[in-house]
Structure 1
Amino acid sequence: MMPAHETYDVIVVGAGAGGMTAAAVAAAEGLRVLVIEKTAFVGGTTAWSGGMVWIPANGKMKEVGLSDSITDAVQYLSSTVPEPTNAGLRAAFLARGPEAVAYLEAKTEVRLQPVKVYPDYYPERLGATSGGRVLEPVAFDGTRLGRAFARLRPPLPEFTLFGGMMVNRLDIPHLRRIGKSLRSTLRAARLVSEYALQRLRSPRGATLHLGNALAARLYASLLARQVEVLFSVDVGDLSMQGDRVTGITIRHGSRDRLITARRGVVLATGGFSHDAILRKRFFPAAAGLVSATNSAGTGDGIRLAIASGGTLNRDATSPAYWVPASLFRRADGSRGVFPHTVTDRAKPGVIAVNGAGRRFVNEALSYHEFVLAMLRDGNGEPERPFYLICDRPFLWSYGLGRIKPFTRRVGQYVASGELVEAADIAQLAAKIGIKPAVLAATIAAYNDGAKDGRDPEFGRGSTIYQRHLGDAAHKPNPCVAPILCAPFFAMRIYPADLGTAIGTTVDTQARVLREDGTPIAGLYACGNDMGSIMNGNYPGPGITLGPALTFGYIAGRHLAEGAAIAPSTAKAAV
């Protein structure tokens, strides 16, 4: 499919959260917008994510009786993001984030709601909150997209039930109490019944939650404003008139086609998580090549920016945001990457050990901190093994990786090598290449404190964030229980990224900057194509999507307020 016009006001490259936000805002301001997407779907990695959006002092907090202030947020970020780099961008984010939320709710189909209890990742720091800064998308009916529903990237199948049913955050505890609570059992029955009816009309469940709901709402915003989206199209390069970006060249068959952007181009292609050259250049060797992001993030936007005179913001404490992940093969032969974010690590009755059979981290820390500990322990070795260790009661109650709770037969996972099973700890250690005496001593030391709900070695369960991720029904410590009952299990985990932190240098209007600090007229970046304002630190849930939506909004508004290139200039560019 080719674009309907040769000239647009705005061209957005990439249909993830940041790109679709910029496009939706520009279109809401009356501009003609074209979105170029290299894959067959909108949504990017956002469609697979939890959809959390971190916006301090947002106006939605008052709805649930919570208060926050920019002063508190500044204080919190001063300790969790201590570097002076990007201080101006963080200030812009704090000032305009609430504005972006209010605008999107008023003028697009985006609807967000505050998560009343979801602590910042370092709740002991001054200025932290126990909830409300995190917003989540309101559930969305995918059938509202009509035939375009097929263009929304499906969620990861491992995060659905019955081949396509999405479950929101609040339904998970009810599903775990099926048969134990009448209320929970009835709620689960209603969810399954609704899903069964949806499958009569749709190839998957139409009640969308989490990041899939956010991507769907942004896509609905584009459709409602007649934003044209081109799928499966590669961008060749940016066209320039003097020192201004005036359009893009797209590849169509054996020839290139130039499309003019009267006001500007927004780069939002998802960073470089899947570019081996850039990973080798910026990532630590111990990080390896595993990524939990969409495979389309190969650095396209960054290369376009650099070719046009832009620069990279390399001043990051970490080049990426991290998550421990397990690997497996799906039935269709594709490789699966399961991000161990919040479903298992902090629950009572599991520990993480390194290749020597020793614990190396508080398992209930944020996924980013967990992997930083893996990278430190790995000491630069890309193949350094790490494992999660648990027993049968844990696997039954909480699952492990993509293995869901209450799974009766785990033979297929054992046969594939994804899960290692053994009758005792010594046998388990031998199967994963660890000295049996060392692993036995590690588990014995852990169990000695765990029987009383303690973790003397790492203090697991010591903060409200850690306890929030545990099992509130388990006493006295929701994060700690002994590992006692055979059979025992191990699952190998790898350091994986959730997105890159290194990206193009931009100003507070999201304009790409040259080496001398001047903006390139007509060129903007947001999402992971923009250097992270958090400098590779991870203060709380949603600190990638919060800035993505905010700076997508900022770019869209700035483009709407700017002047278009003169018709004669546009003609010359073509």
Structure 2
Amino acid sequence: MADAPVLPPSSPEPGRAGGGHSRRTVIKGAALAGGALVAGAALGPRPARAASARTRHAEAEYDVVVAGSGAAGMTAALTAARRGLRTLVIEKAPTFGGSAARSGAGIWIPCNEVILAAGVPDTPAKAAAYLARVVGDTVPADRQRAFLDNGPAMLSFVMRNSPLRFRFMEGYSDYYPELPGGMPGGRSIEPDQLDGRVLGDELARLNPAYIPTPAGMVVFSADYKWLTLTAVNPKGLEVSAACLARGTAAALRGEKPLTMGQALAAGLRAGLLAAGVPVWLDTPLLDLHVESGRVTGVTAERDGVRTLVRARRGVVVGSGGFEHSAAMRAEFQRQPIGTSWTVGARENTGDGIEAGERAGAALELMDDAWWGPAVPLPGEPYFCLAERTLPGCILVNGDGARFVNEGAPYSDVVHVMYDRNTPSAPHIPCWLIVDQNYRNRYLFKDVAPLLPLPDSWYEAGAVFRAATIEQLAQRIGVPATALRATVNRFNGFALKGRDDDFHRGDSVYDRYYADPYVKPNPCLAPLWLPPFYAFKIVPGDLGTKGGMRTDARARVLRADGSVIPGLYAAGNASGAVMGHSYAGAGSTLGPAMTFGYVAANHIADAPA
């Protein structure tokens, strides 16, 4: 079946590659989308997106065209430009930064200069041993080596060619620190404070953060661990005061302080401004332009005009995943799934992945995502990190039983939810059960201890409250006897400080978001003080992790392993180098930026 043309049927675009995929079938019935049924659809070879443009056309030409202005795309563009290539970034959204700008911006890159300067005892051998154990044989060894070999150089390049500087997230352990090569003290870094004035008027076009920083404060990702504990730990008060002091100092200097994903995206954009790289916002990718089997540009829609942008040297797709495409999630991922549980940028609908597939790209890891337990709050889901690890809470399934180590890496928790979810033993949704003692001690999202949860949360069915465990069980539809037995058993574990069922608190990672004042195990405390609360937990995600198959040079591959000339992919538009796992905080952004850097360098090194 031929691809749908980019131009109107009466004017077929010359040189378009064919190659529809016969494996596509019609999915009958209906697919769950964020818990709501949507009509099934024929999911045959997806045609190129039809432009809403009038029949006018335009052309432009660059050496390199990058689709997407997230961390992968902007790193690729910055590298290409500094290698002397005339580079353009096109971005579907009216803002730049993508999901990276919304994130906490942890970056996992072993052996980088920031962590080595901080005294982290990392070595290439340790890093290679650890990544190999975490990823296994899902991802070819040469791709793993390419990430480890190029990551440190990428970070140093970014710091030389942008205002970005980075901080070691001390104590944020690797997610499996007990494995060979794992680091209990961590390898993750995050952006240092950046003055948004470096962007001038462009700052207004930065994609907003997922959770805004409290007004008047400058908060780093590493601070949240302690801010959660402000009511019970002196260091929490100390960190809170430091955040306020930073904010006050920045205000007195007239700065516009940025941290986390806001700093990362702004710093990369400032690098592009200095390098003279244009970023065309509101310019969606419609399709790749292919001539004689080589990708030689893109077709995009700009200001209502269908525009062919030729790329003399190569195209890099860094347009993100497909987390907001109900059709793609229904086709590739396990149910229930949809688009309302993700915190990824809303423009991430898989356009770049689909365009690559039409050009012949093989896809991989499409069933997976950067999962994490989430509370489906009204307006936007809340991705739980500390909340499920803090003492005084448990996760239970529809039978009222615990089923997982609540403090395990967030992606693992959701994998277990899906693996064990059946009609007779539902695990989606599951429930985070806490007591009033927990609520008196810890921040939940942005609700301070002792303060009531918003009425809208109750009205949306995201949280329930009751005077007894048995009444709570009735309200959430789980067996009361079973839930009471589960709570009693867990309380016994908490009192002796050892979780015999799921070993919560045994790993250094489990204890990162725990409460060090709780003894004998900082992850475990009994649930005893009424009222009791149940938070609905669904499979949230930071974005999907499947996409075009690439090699160690970020070149896109066909199903037979051959390279599609001129086409590269990085970030969530490509299959993740982490495979089905997650090495540490920043395992999304670290590889995304690295393979953007690898792609641009390969383009620059190739004969013109």
Whether the 8 Å CA contact 1:56–1:70 is kept in 2: the answer is yes
Corresponding residue number in structure 1 for 2:523: 479
Equivalent pair of 2:178/2:184 in contact (CA under 8 Å): no
The answer to whether the 8 Å contact 1:80/1:539 transfers is yes
State whether structure 2 residue 355 is matched by structure 1 residue 304. Answer: yes
Q: 1:312 to 1:361 in 2, by over 3 A?
A: same
CA 1:359–1:511 in structure 2 vs 1: closer, same or farther (change >3 Å)?
same
Q: Deviations over 1:348-381 (max 9, x none)?
A: 1010011111111110000011111111221379
Question: Once the two structures are aligned, what percentage of the paired residues are identical?
Answer: 39
1:543 to 569, 577, 587: 587
> Given the superposition, is the C-alpha separation of residues 174 and 12 from structure 1 closer, same or farther in structure 2, using an over 3 Å criterion?
same
SS in 2 for 1:82: helix
CA distance in 2, matches of 1:295, 1:498: 11
Q: Could you tell me which residue of structure 1 aligns to residue 411 of structure 2? A: 368
Which residue type is aligned with residue 215 of structure 1? A
Judged with a 3 Å threshold, the aligned counterparts in structure 2 of structure 1 residues 179 and 16 are, in CA distance, closer, same or farther, namely: closer
| Aligned partners of 2:227 and 2:240 also within 8 Å | yes
The answer to whether the 8 Å contact 1:292/1:325 transfers is no
Aligned residue number for residue 236 of structure 1: 286
Distance 2:338 2:75 in 1: 32
What is the match of residue 160 of structure 1?
A: 213
| 8 Å Cα contact 2:59/2:307 also seen in 1 | no
Q: Residues 229 and 442 of structure 2 are in contact (CA less than 8 Å); yes or no, is this contact kept in structure 1?
A: no
Residue 598 of structure 2 is matched in structure 1 by 554
Please state if 1:278 is matched with 2:328. Answer: yes
User: Which secondary structure does the structure 2 equivalent of 1:485 belong to?
Assistant: coil
Deviation at 1:228, TM superposition (A): 0.6
Tell me by how many angstroms 1:521 deviates. 2.1
Where 2:221 maps in the other structure, the secondary structure is: coil
Shift of 1:182: 8.1
* Equivalent of residue 408 in structure 1, options 435, 441, 451: 451
Offset at 1:176?
A: 5.2
Compute the displacement of 1:280 (Å): 1.9
* Contact 1:288–1:495 (8 Å) recurs in 2: no
Change (3 A) 1:3 1:181: farther
Count matched residues. Answer: 551
CA distance in 1 between partners of 2:231 and 2:175 (Å) = 34
For 1:571, the equivalent position in structure 2 comes to none
Matches within 5 A, 1:152-551: 152-157=206-211, 160-162=213-215, 167-172=219-224, 175=227, 185=237, 188=240, 191-192=243-244, 195=247, 206-252=256-302, 255-289=305-339, 290-314=341-365, 319-329=368-378, 335-340=379-384, 342-379=385-422, 384-400=428-444, 402-412=445-455, 413-551=457-595
Q: Which moved more, 1:180-189 or 1:474-483?
A: 180-189
Q: What is residue 97 of structure 2 aligned with on the other side?
A: 43
- Structure 1 distance, partners of 2:231, 2:291, is 68
In structure 2, what is the Cα distance between the partners aligned to 1:78 and 1:183?
37
Q: 1:81: how far off?
A: 1.5
Residues 182-222 of structure 1: per-residue CA shift (max 9 Å, x gap): 886576456447657978999xx932222222112111111
SS of the residue corresponding to residue 537 of structure 1 reads coil
Per-residue deviation, residues 289-313 of structure 1 (Å, max 9, x unmatched): 4322112111111111122222213
Distance in structure 1 (CA, Å) of the matches to 2:373 and 2:230: 29
Aligned equivalents of 1:4, 1:142: Cα separation in 2: 34
CA contact (8 A) 2:217 2:245 kept: no
> Which consecutive residues of structure 1, in runs of 5 or more, have no partner in the other structure?
330-334, 565-574
Q: Deviations over 1:451-510 (max 9, x none)?
A: 232222211100111112211222221100001111111110101232222211112221
Question: SS at the partner of 2:370?
Answer: strand
TM normalised by structure 2 equals: 0.84
Kept in 2, the 8 Å contact 1:287–1:496? The answer is no
Q: Deviations over 1:308-351 (max 9, x none)?
A: 2222135x7x622211111122xxxxx211111x2211111010
Under a length normalisation based on structure 1, what TM-score does the superposition of the two structures give?
A: 0.89
Deviations 1:6-26 (A, max 9, x none): 221111101111001001111
- The 3-state SS of whatever aligns with 1:451 is helix
2:203 is the alignment partner of 1:149: yes
Q: Report the RMSD for the aligned CA atoms in angstroms.
A: 2.8
Cα distance in 2, alignment partners of residues 507 and 370 from structure 1: 29
Alpha-carbon shift at residue 177 of structure 1 (Å)? 6.4
Q: CA deviation at 1:258?
A: 1.3
**Deviation (angstroms), 1:57:** 2.1
